[in-house]
Each structure stands twice: as C-alpha cells, then as structure tokens.
Amino acid sequence: MKKYWSHFLSFIKKPENVFISLSLFFGVLSAATVPLLSVNDEGVHYMRAYGLSQGKIESGVACTLPKEVVLKAKEADVNNFVTSYKKTINRSDTETGKCSSATGYPPIMHLPQTIGIMFANLVHGSLGITIIFGRLANLIFYSFALYFVIKWVRVGKWAFVATGLFPLMIHLAASLSGDSMTNIAIFTAIAATLNLFSQKSPLTRQQQLLIIAVACLLILTKSVTILLLSPVIFLPKRLFIPDKKSKISFIPQKWLVLSAAAILAGLCLIAWLHIYTQPLLTTGAPHNPLHSNPLKFIQILFNTYLNPNLPVSDDILRGVIGAFSAFKYGLPLFILLPSFSLLFLSLLHYNKKDQELLGEQTGKLAVYNLAT
C-alpha cells in the first residue's frame, strides 16, 4: 500500500499530471452530461465542424449541409435522446442556406472537432455520436496540448494548472466550441514569453522560429490575441547577439525576428481574408452597445453581480464573475463543487524556485504587460 501511495504522491507533484488527470475526468463528465448543442453557440460550431469534416471549406454567404444537421443546430430539442443517437444522418439530403457565424473562423479553430466528427462518421454517423465524438476530440486536444505547455513552461506551472482547470475552460473544451484552440494559443504565447524572459543564454534558431509560429497561431485563431506578444518587444539584450560595430544600442537580430513575425502573421491573416472574401468583423454577433456608449461598460460590470441574466453582460466577456452562467445550460453542480475543491487543493503547492528563475525580470514583465 505504501508503495502505491508513494507513486501517487510522486505523480501529483508534477503540475502537468494533476492538470491532465482532472481535465480529462471532469471534461468527459461535462461532454457526457451536458445536453447536445446546449453550450453557448455550440450549434453554429457544429455546423462549421461538420462542413469541414465533409471537406468543405465554405465561406461567405451560402453553405451546403445535411438538412438534419442544420435543423439540429438551429433547434437543439428537435430530436429526442434515442433518435439523436440511433438514426444515422442522411448526408445526401442536403440544403444550401446562410452560413453560420462560426464560418468566419479559420479552419484551424475547428480542427480537433472536425477530426472527431470524421471518425464518428466512420463508426456510426448519427447526430448524437458526431456531437459527442467532436466534443471528446476537442477535450483530448485541449488537455494534451495544455499538458505539454505546462510541462514546457519554466515558471508559474501551477498558475497554468489553476487557469486551465477553471470550470469555464473545461466546459468549453468539452464542447464543439472553437474557443479552445484560441485558449491553447494564448497559453502557448504566455508560456513562450515567460520562458524567454527567464532565459539567460541567447536565442536559438528554433526559438526565433517559435516566436514567428506563435504569432501566426494567434492571428489565425482570434486576431486580437496577437497583442499578447507585445511584451517580446522588450526582450532583454542578453538574448541576442549584439552588433559590436554599432555604437548605438540597436539590436538588428531582435528587430529582424519581430519584423518577420509581424509580416508572416499579417500574410496569414490576409490569406484567410482572401479565402473568406468578407470582412470578418461584420459577420459575427449583433451590434455591441458599447460602440455607441462606452460608459455602458460600467453599468454592465455592476449589473452582472446583481443580475447574471442581463443580456448585455455577454457583450464584454463570457464567464466573468457574476456572468458565469452565460451558457444556456451550465455545468451540473455535482461537477462544479468537486472541481473547485480539487482546484483549491492543487494551489496549496508552492514552488519557491518559480520566483527565483524570473528574479528582477518579474516586475519589468508585469509593467510591460500593463503598458501594452
């Protein structure tokens, strides 16, 4: 018994092990218990992923999908439980109609879900099976991707574990939402920034390519997240080979890398805009009231605490305190309570070496993040 207990203690000492265990456990519970297409915007994500699984990278005005898929996406309650899982989708009976709002996202956003749906169609392509397989594929991608990010990042591992295990994050990962890919891109960008600022030796060629790759990944999820890489402008001199002939404090290598990242990220965005053929910002949600009255932000922040069901609360952020139940169907209470309890226990572990690795760069990095 002591032998197994020592193995268990050794296992949970590694943050990445704690994360992937809890993420998969609670994620599978969420995927299995939350009714089909009841997560916020899951219907439009289902339409997008199903279309991609059929090899259709459609964009713009009209999209062609099986009638059953479109009907289920628009009316989640259209089929009963047994019919949704038993009846195979008739893929030859299609209709052409207006594309879903998720069509504006680059295909990479729905890659895991697409693979899950493709596999489901090989097994038993019913509505229920395709949705469940898509959810599980998204969850597996999220869990393993963040597992490797936590293992890779040098500092703040437990902070990554805590953030990655937020019920909101698990709820999204165990759905067909494309936001999980965005979350992984954000985690990767933050981890890369922390690693670079805590590094003593000059950048390697692989790390330079990593900066460029992360920039492209961010721009191809939700383009505004590219701002998360702003702190790399302030990367310390020790990471670059100085120009000994120059008398000014200008580092050509640094700006070459940053310029390459900006240019290639821009080209990625332009390429997708060319494929999509429509301005992405005009195809999403309805008009945001903050555009006409920015001061409404204060009212919304205040009201979300008193009235979580206030419609405009979702115009700023989903999942902020007070607006946690922005989903049509929240996580069951029997999942939330143990999830938060285990999350609290995981935060009791504190590693002093995390602070020592960053040293004096910690304060500077915080200022750079706030400034940008």
C-beta separation of 116 from 134 below 8 A: yes
Residue 337 resides in a domain: yes
pLDDT tens-digit profile of 41-64? 888 899 999 999 988 876 666 788
Average pLDDT value for residue range 237-253: 68
In a domain, 306, yes or no: no
Range in 69-78, 174-183, 206-215, 347-356 with the lowest mean pLDDT = 347-356
Number of domains in the chain: 1
pLDDT over 80 (residue 1): no
Q: How far apart are the first and last CA of the chain?
A: 53
Give the structural domain span for 351.
15-284+332-371
Instruction: Give the pLDDT score at 350.
Output: 55
Average pLDDT over residues 241-248: 60
> How confident is the model at residue 144, as a pLDDT?
98
Percent of the chain with pLDDT over 90: 26
Residue 294 placed within a domain:
no
The tens digit of pLDDT for each residue in 115-146 reads: 999 999 998 888 889 999 999 999 999 999 99
Flag whether 307 is in a domain: no
Cα–Cα distances in angstroms (integers) from residue 216 to residues 143, 258, 296, in the given order:
22, 12, 34
Distance of CA 306 to the CA centre of its chain: 28
Confidence band for 188, pLDDT divided at 50, 70 and 90: very high
Domain annotation covers residue 4: no
User: Does a structural domain hold residue 139?
Assistant: yes
Q: Kindly tell me if the per-residue pLDDT of 311 is higher than 70.
A: no
Report if residue 291 sits inside a domain. no
- Residue 287 CB neighbours (<10 A): 8
Q: What percent of the chain has pLDDT over 70?
A: 67
